[in-house]
Amino acid sequence: MLTLIFKRMLMAIPSLIGVVIVTFLLTRALPGDPAAYFAGPAATKEAVEQIRVKLGLDQPLIVQFGRYVTDLAKGDLGSSLTTGQPVAKEIRARLPASAELTLLGLIVSMAVAIPLGILAATKPGSMIDHACRVITTAGVSLPVFFTGLILVYLFYYQLGWAPAPLGRLDIFTSPPKSITGLYLIDSLLAGNLEVFWASLKQLILPALTLAIFSLAPIARMTRAAMLAVLASDFVRTARASGLSEFTVIVTYAFRNAMLPVITTLGMVFSFLLGANVLVEKVFAWPGIGSFAVEALIASDFAPVQGFVLTMAIMYVALNLLIDVLYGLIDPRVRVEA
Partner 1 sequence: MTAIPLLDVRDLTVEFATRRGIVRAVQHVNIQVAKGETIGIVGESGSGKSVTSYAVLRILDRAGKIAEGSITFSGIDVAAASESEMQDLRGSEISMIFQNPRAALNPIRKIGQQIEDVLLTHLKADARDVTEKAVEALDQVRIARPRERYHAYPFELSGGMCQRVVIALALACRPQLMIADEPTTGLDVTTQKTVMDLITELTRERGMSTILITHDLGLASAYCDRVIVMEKGRVIETAPSRAIFTAPSHPYTRKLMRATPRPGITLRDLLPEEPGGPRLVVGKEAPRSGEPLLTVTKLIKEYPRKGVGKTLATMFRRGPAPETETFRAVDGVSFAVNRGESVGLVGESGCGKSTTSSMVMRLIDHTDGVIMFDGQDIGEIPAEKFAKLPIRKRIQMVFQDPTDSLNPRFTAARAIADPIMRLGDVKGRDALRARCEDLAKQVGLPVELLDRFPHQLSGGQKARVGIARAIALKPDLIILDEPTAALDVSVQAVVLNLLQDLKEQLGMSYLFVSHDLNVVRLLCDRVIVMRGGKIVEEGPTERVLFAPEADYTKELLSAIPHRDFDVPAKGSELRLAAST
Residues 124-183 that bind partner 1 (CB under 8 A): 124
Nearest CA-CA partner of 38 in 3, 73, 101, 84: 84
Handedness of CA 200, 148, 171, 105 (dihedral sign): positive
Amino acid letter at 159?
A: L
Query: To the nearest whole angstrom, how small is the minimum distance from the Cβ of residue 337 to partner 1?
Result: 7
Q: Do 1 and 268 contact (CB within 8 A), yes or no?
A: no
Report how far residue 152's alpha carbon sits from residue 138's, in angstroms, rounded to the nearest whole number: 18
User: Residue 12 or 200: which CB sits closer to partner 1?
Assistant: 12
By CB under 8 A, which span of 87-95, 154-162, 216-224, 246-254 interacts with partner 1?
Answer: 246-254
By CB under 8 A, which span of 80-88, 94-102, 148-156, 231-239 interacts with partner 1?
Answer: 231-239
Q: Does 243 bind partner 1 (CB under 8 A)?
A: yes
User: Residue 162 or 243: which CB sits closer to partner 1?
Assistant: 243
Q: From residue 37 to residue 76, what is the string marking binding to partner 1 with x (rule CB under 8 A)?
A: ----------------------------------------
Report how far residue 135's alpha carbon sits from residue 138's, in angstroms, rounded to the nearest whole number: 5
Report how far residue 71's alpha carbon sits from residue 89's, in angstroms, rounded to the nearest whole number: 14
Query: To the nearest whole angstrom, how small is the minimum distance from the Cβ of residue 193 to partner 1?
Result: 39
User: Residue 46 or 336: which CB sits closer to partner 1?
Assistant: 336
Q: Do 321 and 103 contact (CB within 8 A), yes or no?
A: no
* Ordered alpha helix ranges (H), 157-254: 183-189, 193-230, 233-240, 245-246
Query: To the nearest whole angstrom, how small is the minimum distance from the Cβ of residue 243 to partner 1?
Result: 5
Applying CB under 8 A, what is the total number of residues that bind partner 1?
30
C-alpha distances (whole Å) from 298 to each of 36, 78, 301 are: 11, 16, 9
Q: Does 3 bind partner 1 (CB under 8 A)?
A: yes
Binding site for partner 1 (CB under 8 A): 3, 6-7, 10, 124, 232-234, 236-245, 247, 251-252, 255-256, 329-332, 335-337
